[in-house]
Amino acid sequence: MYKVLETKQLCDKIYLMVIEAPRVAAQCQPGQFVIICVDEQGERVPLTICDFNREKGTVTIVFQVIGVSTEKLALYKAGDSINDFTGPLGNPSELINEDIVELKGKRILFVAGGVGTAPVYPQVKWLKEQGVLVDVIVGAKTKDLVILEDEMGVVAGNLYITTDDGSYGKKGMVTEAIRSLVENGHQYDLCVAIGPLIMMKFVCLVTKELNIPTIVSMNPIMVDGTGMCGACRLEVGSDTKFACVDGPEFDGHKIDFDAIMKRQGMYKNLEAKAVEHYHHHHNDTNHVCTRSGGCICGGEK
């Protein structure tokens, strides 16, 4: 069991959680992720490591509630324990292995979308610790969904916020922000974009046009996270890669986002049913169980 030490609701559907996991905390690097199982019946859910403290043996995750597992997780409070927490998985960000002197000479732009701000944060923080200041664009749908603004402000060189509806920061998409930075004379040698697939897709289209090499962090559906199942496979250029062991970061200009978006939707219907089923069992009285063949689990929990 892994103890939850602290929880914080960052906005409507996004939560931060600090968890005691000494082995993960001792080894992890920016860019890596963990897999958690909330309880005995839980799915294995991959989540990026947002921050860590090696002395205290803690790891911070930030997650958005979208389905059963994340909904369950959001109910956990400080003092509770979750069943499984394993990692660190995947490869650290490539920047970690680069020569610091060379890194210092590089002009890097990070683009974060929504909950993608969480995985961007540890990379920007690590770079700042090495004395490398980078520009960061954080995009969100609306003001309330901007997360980790203060934390990011401390570690970023320049921080630009955009909202789709203009309720905060600059109005518009992150892609427009990239264009306007470049038009205003900023030059970048590298872009790192992490966020929803659709955002990464459009960022890559823009950066390709602007000739900025771009790294994206892919989050396909995963099961084990160790290369055992192949659920996370995706085509990078003409090769098939397993995102959990070969990634999660890849050259964004080699990714076929449309194909991946189709794959991401594979369990949509089933998951919608799982959510209904879950609510049904938590005495949501307005809810009628619609599982095919009716509900077989023998009464309310």
Q: Which residues bind another protein (CB under 8 A)?
A: 23-24, 26-27, 37, 41-44, 68-69, 83-89, 223-224, 226-231, 233-235, 240, 245, 259, 262-263, 265-267, 270-271, 274, 277-278, 291, 295-297
Q: Does 223 bind ligand FES (CB under 6 A)?
A: yes
Near ligand FAD by CB under 6 A: residue from 19, 43, 110, 257: 43
Q: How many residues does the chain have?
A: 301
The residue with tokens 């732009």 is: 109
Minimal distance, residue 114 CB to ligand FAD, in Å: 9
Kindly state the tokens that stand for 79. Answer: 């003092």
Q: H/E element holding 218?
A: none
Kindly state the tokens that stand for 129. Answer: 């610790």
Report the DSSP pairing between strands 108-113 and 135-140: parallel
Taking the least distance from each CB to another protein, the nearer of 13 and 277 is 277
Q: Using CB atoms within 10 A of its CB, is residue 265 exposed (0-12), middle (13-18) or buried (19+)?
A: exposed
Listed in order, strand segments (DSSP E) in the chain are 2-11, 14-20, 33-37, 45-53, 58-64, 81-82, 84-89, 108-113, 135-140, 158-163, 170-171, 190-194, 214-217, 233-236, 239-242, 249-251
Do the Cβ atoms of 80 and 21 come closer than 8 Å? Answer: no
139 makes contact, choosing from another protein, ligand FES, ligand FAD, none, with CB < 5 to 8 Å by partner type, with: none
Near ligand FES by CB under 6 A: residue from 20, 84, 151, 224: 224
33 makes contact, choosing from another protein, ligand FAD, ligand FES, none, with CB < 5 to 8 Å by partner type, with: ligand FAD
Stretch that binds ligand FAD, among 42-50, 94-102, 175-183, 200-208 (CB under 6 A): 42-50
Minimal distance, residue 134 CB to ligand FAD, in Å: 20
Near ligand FAD by CB under 6 A: residue from 58, 70, 207, 214: 70
Minimal distance, residue 140 CB to ligand FAD, in Å: 14
Stretch 262-301: interaction string toward ligand FAD, x if CB under 6 A: --xx-xx--x--x---------------------------
In three-state secondary structure terms, 137 is strand
Backbone Cα Rg of the chain: 20
Name 8's Cβ contacts closer than 8 Å, sequence gap at least 6: 15, 16, 17
Which residues of the shown chain bind ligand FAD in the complex (CB under 6 A)? 33, 43, 45-48, 62-64, 66-70, 115, 118-119, 219-222, 248, 264-265, 267-268, 271, 274
Which residues of the shown chain bind ligand FES in the complex (CB under 6 A)? 222-225, 227-232, 242, 244
